[in-house]
Amino acid sequence: MYSARHQTADRLGPASMQTIIISVTPLFAVIFLGYFAAKSRMFDTRAVGVLATFVFTFAMPPMLFRLMATADLAAIVEFRFLGVYLYGELLLFAAGAIFSGWLLRGGLAEMTIQGFGSSFSNGVVIGLPLMLAVFGERGGPPSLLIITLDVFLFSLVTILLEFARAGKSGKQGSAIIKEAGFAVLRNPVAMATALGIVWGLTGFGLTPLIDKTFGFIGQAGPPAGLFALGLSLGLRPIAGGLGPATGMALFKLFAHPAIVWLIATYLIPLDPFWRAAAVLFAACPVGANVFVFAQQYSVGVASSSTAILISTAISMLTITALLLVLLPI
């Protein structure tokens, strides 16, 4: 059960601006601390890499595994919710790709990165902590469902980028798909979530020792991830690609939550809580993995970096405003 404070938060009305700010501000305050530390030259790019490795390899995976392994999977698997979010994500992916191909004259690789940045939320670092802060433990299941669903998006992006690269390397289609599959399997966050689901289905549960250990190290994940994000933003100045970056940020912060709300309201109606969860997650800024993919495939590096910086800076205002509209639920 989540606390009385979060039960109150679930019934917020227009006069609850203070409660919303209390829920949202700590997350962005940690990002700002990381940004300040970077601008003060207390850390360099090597520190960002070390901290990011800790977060995504050693802290977040145990946390996600524990959450999924101890969750009532039969109760949290909402297929209509997954359908709403996937539909919205794919629509925004297509819109971003078309924007790149039609207006920016981008090729397949550029279209893929633009579509990815237009539809992929910073779920692990911002989405999950935000949902837990606003909704308490009830915010965990929808966040984890979307994080699990993003394995599909990672696979799609990897396959498309490998196909774009294949035009230069001459790889066969089967080799591309195989390489994409291995790329997903090497993702610690995706695999921890999937393994947690499998373990939860066995019904074995977790021993107190494992539960306590995973919970302890997992607590470090969200704040360390937010701090690392602030560091990377502070050390990554606006490098160009303002046209594509602005397109990504606008699609992500405004079009994505709007489309998800329309789908969840009229096409595949959800109850108020699940609709609010889908819209709030969609309103999160561009995910850091967009830059990771851009670097790995040497395409859209400047635009993705700038889009993450712009969308993260603006999202504190847009998310706060959105919460005032979404709540009470």
Domain-embedded: residue 6: no
Assign residue 149 the CATH number of its domain. 1.20.1530.20
Average pLDDT score over residue span 315-326:
88
**pLDDT score at 274:** 94
pLDDT at 151: 77
User: Model pTM?
Assistant: 0.80
Q: Which residues contact 114 (CB under 8 A, 6 or more apart)?
A: 96, 97, 99, 100, 104, 106, 244, 247, 248, 300, 303
Report which listed range, 3-12, 86-95, 223-232, 320-329, is most confident: 86-95
Percentage with pLDDT > 90 across the chain? 32
Where in the sequence is the domain holding 235, given as residue range(s)?
Answer: 13-326
Span 162-182, pLDDT tens digits:
888 776 555 666 676 776 667
pLDDT of residue 80: 94
Are the CB atoms for 1 and 135 separated by under 8 Å? no
Lowest mean pLDDT among 72-76, 113-117, 155-159: 72-76
**pLDDT over threshold 90, residue 144:** no
Q: Report yes or no on 2 lying in a domain.
A: no
What is the count of structural domains for the chain?
A: 1
Per-residue model confidence (pLDDT) at position 128: 87
**What is the per-residue burial (b if ≥16 Cβ within 10 Å, else e) of 152-184?**
ebbbbbbbbbbbbbbeeeeeeeeebeeebeebb
Confidence at 235, pLDDT banded by 50, 70, 90? confident
5 within some domain: no
CA atoms within 13 A on the CB side of 301: 8
